[in-house]
Amino acid sequence: MSDDIDLDDAPDMAAAELALGILDGDERAVALRRVLAEPGFAQQVERWRQYLAQLFDLWPAMTAPAGVLERVEWTIDGPAAMDVPTPPNRRFFWPAVAGISSVAAAALLLFIVMRPIEYAPHAARPSAAPTMTIVEAPSAMLVASITPVDKGAPVTAVYDPASGSLRLTAATLADANRSAELWVIGGDGVPHSLGMLRPTGASSLAVNQANRARLAAGVTLAVSLEPIGGSPTGLPTGPVVATGALSQV
Amino acid sequence: MTDFPQATLQQASDARLKLVEALVRTGHEDRTAFRDLYALTSAKLFGICYRICGERQAAEDVLHDVYLTIWKRAGAYEPHRASPITWLATIARNRAIDWRRAQAVRRSTPIEDALPILDGAPLASETMVADEEAHRLHGCLDGLEDRQRGAIHTAFFDGVTYAELAERESVPLGTMKSWVRRGLAKLRECLER
């Protein structure tokens, strides 16, 4: 029976391990970076998430404590509604902590995304991120997985509202005769151009003021195929080949 | 194909439809739909938070955060890509794991009063759109060695890391990684057959 420590012979199961949530520290950071850098890897993680999700069927339900829904609604309705008498314990402590930790998570992702692609095995140090970056980390990093309409690898987009920069992983959506143009489709349903994707490699776009206001969680990003150099009309003229919704990290 | 009682399947599919509707309407900021969604799913999601967090207050706080996230993100839910309960449960599990990872203290033993994980696949799956697919993972897991299956099971339901797993089982870290990786590889082989 194959036993133990011959770890070197063990297969690379990083996608499954990430989906399972068993990794921590550097191993987790490296796997997260692969999600952004390798479309095939991201797909594998997604497939594993779907496989493992079947285990949720076995999870026993447990009646939730009273009052949670009310607290959620207070939080949704904003500070005015928070004037509702607050019990003198740590009721509102966790939301604050959660805010901080998702900022830390966003900071970590930012750290991962913005680093150059080549890396040493121990380069990513997530444990150092939280305490150092909480203060200036942007609180609303947005990500989208822009999925091709036909088969193909999704493009990951990461938007940093603080700098107005939008970074996208390599896309192979266009051919030699056409350019891939990225659009944001806001609440009004009208597409606004965010710029052209590079034919090879990752793209980095500076988002103008008008479009910055349009980039928010839930908003759709779409890629259309246009004449080389971009749509001549300011609206998509070719087929939409990929779409995805922005969500908060 | 598997022979399930038709009534059970019909019920499961009605429940799923109701959930999809509540979730999609929540995505349009419909507060009544959000309350329905909470009524339909909070027990399942609290079960997840409680088992992984291991303490009631933390689980309650994480549950608050989970529903806030659901309210904000429901607009991005795509019914053709995932069943609603999978989408919701994944948010709950990930949030609870984030909370665990943020704690400095490791819990090397499972919590005592957690409800037991159900034994065997249910008749009708909440998580799979096609019920006949739902038994594949369970069947494939049954084909693993006990220690491989046990480790994967614990990682999923208790949200623990390799280090915590190795400590619980009193084996070296490398041994635990080897068990889990081989188990996952075997699982993949079975699932993709």
Q: Which tokens go with A34?
A: 């692969």
* A98 near B CB under 8 A: yes
Instruction: Please choose, from the candidates B50, B155, B100, the residue with its C-alpha nearest in 3D space to the C-alpha of residue A61.
Output: B50
Neighbours of B103 (CB within 10 A): 12
Report yes or no: B53 and B108 within 8 Å, Cβ to Cβ: no
For residue A189, is it left (φ>0), alpha (ψ between -120 and 50) or beta?
left
**In this complex, do B60 and A246 lie within 8 Å of one another by their Cβ atoms?**
no
Kindly indicate the confidence band of residue A164, based on its pLDDT and cuts at 50, 70 and 90. confident
Chain A stretch 171-230, residues whose beta carbon is closer than 8 A to a beta carbon of chain B: 217-218
pTM score: 0.60
Angle subtended at Cα A240 by Cα B130 and Cα A179, rounded to the nearest 5 degrees:
135
CA distance linking residue B55 with residue B113, whole number of Å: 10
Kindly indicate the confidence band of residue B56, based on its pLDDT and cuts at 50, 70 and 90. very high
- Terminal CA-to-CA distance of chain A, rounded, Å? 43
Q: For chain B, how many structural domains are there in total?
A: 1
ipTM rounded to 2 decimals: 0.88
| In-domain check, residue B96 | yes
Looking at CA atoms only, how far is residue A229 from chain B in angstroms? Answer: 30
List CB contacts (< 8 A) between B68 and chain A: 72, 75-76, 95
* A8 near B CB under 8 A: no
* B171 near A CB under 8 A: yes
**In this complex, do A53 and B42 lie within 8 Å of one another by their Cβ atoms?**
no
| Portion of chain A with pLDDT greater than 70, in percent | 70
Q: What is the pLDDT of residue A124?
A: 40
CATH number at residue B57: 1.10.1740.10
Looking at CA atoms only, how far is residue B19 from chain A in angstroms? Answer: 15
pLDDT digits (tens, 9 = 90+) for A10-48: 788 999 999 999 998 888 888 888 888 888 999 999 889
Q: Which of A56, A77, A146 to mutate to test the interface with B (most CBs of B within 10 A)?
A: A56
Q: In terms of residue numbers, what domain contains B44? A: 6-110
Most confident listed range (A107-116, A178-187, B30-39): B30-39
- Terminal CA-to-CA distance of chain B, rounded, Å? 17
**In this complex, do B137 and A63 lie within 8 Å of one another by their Cβ atoms?**
no
* DSSP output for B181-192: HHHHHHHHHHHT
> Is pLDDT of A173 > 60?
yes
Q: What is the pLDDT of residue A81?
A: 46
pLDDT digits (tens, 9 = 90+) for B128-159: 655 666 678 888 999 999 999 999 999 999 99
pLDDT digits (tens, 9 = 90+) for B101-131: 887 656 655 666 667 777 766 666 777 655 6
| Domains defined along chain A, listed by start | 142-248 (2.60.40)
**Crossing angle between the packed helical segments B31-53 and A68-77, to the nearest 10 degrees:** 120
| In-domain check, residue B91 | yes
* A96 near B CB under 8 A: no
| In-domain check, residue B179 | no
